[in-house]
Amino acid sequence: MTIVHRTVANLRRQDWMAIAVEFVLLVCGVFLGIQVANWNEDREQDKKSAVFTERLKEDLRIEAWNYEVQVGYNQQVLANAQRTVDALAGRVPLSDEALLVAAYRATQFNGNARRRATYDELASTGEIGLIRDKALRTLAMDVYTQPQIDQIDRHGQESDYRKAFRMALPYEVQQALQDKCGDHVLAIDDYAGIAQELDYPCTTGLAPDVIASSAATLRNDPRFVPLLELRITDIATDLANLTTYFKYMSDPLKRLAKEKP
């Protein structure tokens, strides 16, 4: 017989003590059911929180490596831009081939894909609160909502110097420069390879007369020095942001990268 049936029977007999006991049992049963349901829900939320926290940490460890890649890569682009403008302005002698390589590398930009799927999922579903570590949550929001991180790539891609260089030299020359002196592709977490991702010894494999005519195009075009000076200023600004003004992001990213997953 159920509690309801027993309660009805007790009401008919006017057995108030039994009714009170049945009522207390009913309330206790409902209360315990709610508590068990809440406990199960909390346990599921804890499991979900742990999964998303580890996923976010792993994404941010890759972002930490990407951040160092951006710094190292842009330092190498800047060095080549300075080398090129010094040669074109007559301040430093540079062979035709070395000029061609440096001028090409000064056009380059880093296009590392962001690792942001976990953060975007949490933000779009309104579940960012699953990340209970406030410092980790704040770091993720800083990293993924700072627009200048993505703008740095666009500065390189949209630079007037890059466009002028691409328009001035034959496609075959640019293809040889890309094949022989272009970016080294790095595996994720390859910190050691960053230093030579772009700035490493190379030869173009181009014929001497092609090298000479291409270098002459660069040396004789008055547009390149001012465009390079603008390029240098833009890269220096981006590097200042990455290495100085964004330390509130870069320092926590470095610490996270050192943690064992």
pLDDT in tens, 43-64: 788 899 999 999 999 999 999 9
pTM for the complete prediction? 0.83
What pLDDT is stored for residue 147 in this prediction? 85
Q: What is the per-residue pLDDT across 151-186, written as a single tens digit (0 to 9) for each?
A: 888 888 889 999 999 999 999 999 999 999 999 999
Query: What 8-state DSSP symbol labels residue 127?
Result: -
**From the CB of residue 256, how many other CB atoms can be counted at a distance below 10 Å?**
18
Answer yes or no: is pLDDT of 22 > 70.
no
Token pair 């020095």 is found at 225
H helix runs in 117-207, sequence order = 117-125, 134-145, 147-157, 160-168, 171-181
Based on its alpha-carbon atoms, the radius of gyration of the chain, rounded to whole angstroms, reads 32
C-alpha angle 205-207-211 in degrees, rounded to nearest 5: 90
Token pair 């880093």 is found at 110
| Cα of 177 vs its chain's centroid, Å | 28
Pairwise pLDDT comparison (31 vs 251), residue with the higher score: 251
Longest pairwise C-alpha distance within the chain: 115
Lowest mean pLDDT, pick from 95-104, 204-213, 241-250: 241-250
Token pair 């300075």 is found at 82
What pLDDT is stored for residue 148 in this prediction? 81
Instruction: For residue 245, give both structure tokens.
Output: 């003004």
Token pair 């547009």 is found at 223
Q: Dihedral sign for Cα 180, 181, 186, 190, please.
A: positive
SS3 61: helix
Q: What integer is the mean pLDDT of 202-209? A: 97
Instruction: For residue 136, give both structure tokens.
Output: 């980790």
Instruction: For residue 154, give both structure tokens.
Output: 């666009």
Within 8 A by CB and 6+ apart from 103, the residues are: 80, 84, 165, 218, 224
Cα–Cα distance for residue pair 215/165, rounded to 1 Å = 11
Q: Dihedral sign for Cα 44, 49, 54, 58, please.
A: positive
Quickly state the pLDDT bin for 112 (edges 50, 70, 90).
confident
Quickly state the pLDDT bin for 127 (edges 50, 70, 90).
very high
Instruction: Report the amino acid identity of residue 10.
Output: N
